[in-house]
Structure formats: structure tokens, C-alpha cells
Amino acid sequence: MSQAHIEQFYGKALKDPALVNRMLMGTKGPDDFIRNAVKEGKNQGYEFSYEEADTWIKKQQKAKASGELSDSQLEAVAGGKSGALNSSAVSGADPAVHWIDTTVVSPAAGAITGAVNTIGSGITGAANTVASGVTSAANSVAHFFSSW
């Protein structure tokens, strides 16, 4: 029953960044994260121990390293559960990895993309200004010679 609680809690954590933030608050390593996860799990009505959570996380990491799907992930695929198998589930990512990706990496990538787009717009604007100037100069030269 506790493994089912861990998996249900994990599924909830993937959809709730505030919950993940509470689990990450004050963590200095995996042990702190697991302790916080057990505490938050109990607050949410899920019963599992530190040892059970630690074992489950290590199993997920091992599956990720081997490229295998967990039993629950296989059941989701076989049962055709809609939305049950997302990219985080396939990769075997734990909530900390998911949180880091969604709150640190993705926004940073968005900011970089925005900066690149801004630079690109500036370059395009400058190129258009130069092109306009060149066209104007060419027209002036053409007009000068046509009036001869």
C-alpha cells in the first residue's frame, strides 16, 4: 500500500509546483528532500516511511539509468490512461528534477530565447535601416544620372 501512496503522491507533486517548493525548502541534499517528502506526503494523507521513499526513488533512478519503465508506467501504457505517462514519467525523473526543470531550466531557456529574439529584432531593424539607406543612395545616384 505504501508504494501506491508514494506513486500517487509523486503524481500529485508533478502537478503542484507549490508542493514541490515546500519539499525543497531548506534542503541541503537528498536526505532532507526525502524527509520533507515524507512529511508533505503525510500532510496530504499519504502514508509512507523515509526508507520506503528512499527505496522508491533509488528504484526510479535505476530505471531511468537503464531506460526501463516502472510497473506503474507500464500499467499506464497498457491501460491507456490518458495523461498518465508524461515526459517526466518516461524519463523516471524525480520531483526534484521536475521542479528544477520547470522552475529553473525552462524559464532560463525562455529568457535566453527572448534575449536572442530581441537581439535578432535589433539586428533586423539595423539591417533594414542600412538597406533603406543604400536604396535611397542608389535612387539618388540613379536620379542624378538620369537627369543628364
For the stretch 47-57, pLDDT in tens is 999 999 999 88
Domain boundaries, the chain: 2-146
Write the pLDDT tens digit of every residue in 100-116. Answer: 555 555 555 565 666 66
For residues 119 and 10, give the distance between their C-alpha atoms in angstroms, rounded to a whole number. 40
Instruction: Walk along the chain (148 residues) and give the pLDDT tens digit of each residue.
Output: 588 899 899 888 888 888 888 888 888 888 898 999 999 999 999 999 999 999 988 888 888 788 766 666 666 566 554 443 344 443 445 556 655 555 555 555 565 666 666 777 778 777 777 777 766 666 666 555 655 4
Kindly calculate the radius of gyration of the chain based on its CA atoms and give it in whole angstroms. 27
Query: Are 90 and 69 a contacting pair, CB within 8 Å?
Result: yes
Among 4, 102, 11, 16, smallest CA distance to 56 is for 4
